[in-house]
Structure 1
Amino acid sequence: MHKRVNRVSTLLLVILLSASPLANASSFKVIASFSVLGDLVKRIAGEDISVSTVVPADADVHNWELTPPNVLAIEEADIMFYNGFGLEPWLRHVKAMSDDSLTLTSVAENADFAPLPITTGQYKGATDPHMWMDPQGAAAYIEVIAHTLAEHYPDKADAFHARAEEAYLALQTLDQTIEERLDGVPNTNRSLFTSEGGFSYFARAYNLEYSSIWGLNHETQGNALAMATMSQRLAEKRVPALFYESTVSCIHADSLARETGISLAGPLYVDSLSPQDGPAFNYTTMLRYNAELIHEALGGARPE
């Protein structure tokens, strides 16, 4: 009887120790600000690091408000990767509550990649934060991610760099695939007009004329001046379609489409991945889905 009690007591002690902060102190935890960045981080971290995200898939990174689970996850993390260039206005709260134990790394601000300015709206002239929408921009993100992880966890550096090399090759293939697909859009139709100005880098990469109703989602969306300006552009250009994004209401784009008699297309994915059962559940599927939707809506050649 006493032996049985002792065995049970020992088992309970093991369970309590395994659940205690001390027992988990050696675990490695990284957090990314939003789902697209989280997917890129996971590619490099592999199974060696636990990776979570602040803003879940299908939510708008611009207008997110931190939740208690977010705060707990950030407090437990070793590194937080965020985009930067104003993409995450709520980051000021993270900086206010974090201490020296959390490494905060902006992938966009540290990326070796040529920036573009925001061309419309309240933040006109500021750096456009959506660099990941060009696969070469995503490759620059990968370099920052791999370097940061290797510096923080040197014993796993070789694995991080090996995964980064694999990611570079995959992004090159993705870039070529999208370029070939969008080459099928007639020259007269190569105009991409969207709600938020999140496609500047994508448009530069694939030789598309680009315009948007507003610049960033956290400014006032669809104000009278912005709507009138876009209405005039649409009337002059007569583009095949006006696109909206997954994290914003289509109400403004739909209103303009109805007014001008132009087709409404979407949603495109920019600031968020889709849920796992959706068409954009990781970075690669997101860009391929966007390219296919743009190709079709802009009158691209159909396969014979």
Structure 2
Amino acid sequence: MKNTIALLFLSALLFSCNSNQKTENEKLQVVATTTMIADLLHNLGGDSIELQGLMGAGVDPHLYKASEGDVSKLLNADLIFYNGLHLEGKLVDVFEKMESQGIKTIAVGESIEKSELIGSDYFASNYDPHIWFSVSNWKKVTEFTTKKLIEHDPKNKSLYQKNSETYIKKLDQLQQSLIAKIETLPKEKRILVTAHDAFSYFGKAYGFQVVGLQGLSTATEAGVKDVQKLATFIIEQEVKAIFVESSVPKRTIEALEEAVKSKNHSVTIGGTLYSDALGNPDTNEGNYLGMFAYNVDTIINALQ
């Protein structure tokens, strides 16, 4: 209830304020919700934009609650980029209302055709929002975001285009590297068991069977039956390792590990994967390219 009231208050503030008129030399004020989107905008905009992120490393966007500091960031933004597809929970309602009031909010998930989205019967949007776990998807998001920056800041068009081309080349190199590493893992071992169902796009793109203990949203709790059912699956499929996630409490995966042991079998926790947030800014995992490479290395090493 408190969060709902806070969001309504935030909406009222936003709707009652007039947007600032910018001079030609002022930088575009940009806000990004998730760390993945903030990292993309940093690569595209560089020093030509004033970029602020709402969520930090290890933050779960499904459960994120707007803070007082967020109000100031949003009020002063020229553009607000968010994932959409209900990843950001109740914040999406605020962004949609802002858009209807003429405040520019951009859902990067709109760059992916609905036919390419993964559906779900268990999530409010009926689509899996974790689109960044396909490099091909992220290239589309990059192109979409570049166009939006150019539309609102045409004086820096050449810079955005150049940065976009450079970044897409890096994404292509990442894709080639990922595929080469994954090909070293036998197909029968490509079963990825994680804390929640964040890796379906990864599985579809790179040939993994993906099983999440929780649903697409971490707001969904896994029950005892879910744990026991997945424990049986792990034993039957001879899954060697399961994975925790940086933005999800370890307890569910630890409970799964214990459930397997209770059936006189063993499974190891193969490491921590970055799912809904990047790592700390001063690490390789603090950017999208490094995060994806780290995840794949961790998965391959544990399942070999």
Please state which band the TM-score falls in when normalised by the shorter chain: 0.7 to 0.9
* Letter in structure 2 aligned against 1:73: K
Per-residue CA shift, 1:88-112, capped at 9, x if unaligned? 1132234446774531111112335
- The answer for the alignment partner of 1:62 in structure 2 is 62
Give a deviation string over 1:12-37, Cα, whole Å, max 9, x none.
Answer: xxxxxxxxx88989332101111111
Which runs of structure 2 are paired with 1:34-183 in the superposition (5 Å)? Answer: 34-91=34-91, 92-96=93-97, 100=101, 102-112=103-113, 114-118=116-120, 122-123=122-123, 126-183=126-183
Counterparts of 1:168 and 1:98 in 2: how far apart (Å)?
Answer: 29
Matched, 1:284 2:284: no
| 1:272 matched residue in structure 2 | 277
Q: Quick check: 2:98–2:105 contact (8 Å CA) kept in 1?
A: no
> Alpha-carbon deviation of 1:186?
1.9
| Contact map agreement 2:98 2:104 (CA 8 A) in 1 | no
How far off is 1:125 after superposition? 8.6
Specify the alignment match of 2:227 in structure 1: 227
Report deviation, 1:212. Answer: 1.0
Q: Aligned with 1:212: secondary structure?
A: strand
Amino acid at match of 1:298: L
1:171-190 Cα offsets, whole Å, 9 max, x none, are 01000101111111122211
Q: List per-residue Cα deviations over 1:71-103 (Å, max 9, x = no partner).
A: 100110011111111101132234446774531
DSSP-derived class of the 2:61 partner: coil
Moved more, 208-217 or 58-67: 208-217
From the CA coordinates, give the structure whose radius of gyration is larger. Answer: 1
- Structure 2 equivalent of residue 207 of structure 1: 207
Shift of 1:278: 3.6
The corresponding residue for 1:293 is 298
Is the 2:123–2:217 Cα contact (8 Å) retained in structure 1?
A: no
Instruction: Kindly provide the CA deviation profile for residues 115-158 of structure 1, in whole angstroms up to 9, marking residues without a partner as x.
Output: 11237xx3299211111111111101101100100011111112
Residue type matched to 1:295 in 2? Answer: I
Distance 1:79 1:98, change over 3 A: same
Comparing 248-257 and 209-218, the one that deviates more: 209-218
Which amino acid letter does the alignment assign opposite residue 86 of structure 1? H
The change in CA–CA distance for 1:161 and 1:279 in structure 2 (over 3 A counts) is closer
Distance 2:146 2:132 in 1: 16
User: CA 1:117–1:82 in 2, change beyond 3 Å: closer, same or farther?
Assistant: same
Deviation at 1:287, TM superposition (A): 0.3
For structure 1, the 5+ residue unaligned runs are 1-20, 300-304
Show the counterpart of 2:15: none
Equivalents in 1 of 2:134, 2:50: separation in Å? Answer: 26
Secondary structure in 1 matching 2:84? coil
Equivalent position SS for 1:88: coil
Task: Compare the two structures and name the one with the higher helix fraction.
Answer: 2
Give distance in 1, aligned partners of 2:146 and 2:152.
Answer: 10
Structure 1, residues 197-218: CA drift from partner, whole Å, max 9, x if none? 1111111111111111122234
**Which residue identity does 1:267 align to in structure 2?**
T
2:194 match: secondary structure? strand
Q: TM-score, normalised by structure 2?
A: 0.85
SS of 2:281's partner is coil
SS at 2:192 equivalent: strand
Which residue in 2 is equivalent to 1:9?
none
Q: CA RMSD in A?
A: 2.2
**Structure 2: gaps (5+ residues):** 1-19, 261-265
AA of the residue aligned to 2:105: L
Large movers: runs of 4+ above 3 Å: 21-27, 93-101
Question: Contact 1:32 / 1:54 at 8 angstroms: preserved in 2?
Answer: yes
Q: Residues of 2 paired with 1:287 and 1:185: CA distance? A: 17
Pairs within 5 Å for 1:191-206: 191-206=191-206
How many pairs are equivalent?
277
- Secondary structure at the aligned position of 1:45 is classed as helix
How does the TM-score come out when normalised to structure 1?
0.85
Please report how far the alpha carbon of residue 219 of structure 1 lies from its aligned counterpart in structure 2 after TM superposition: 2.6
C-alpha separation in 1, matches of 2:238 and 2:284: 29
Partner of 1:190: 190
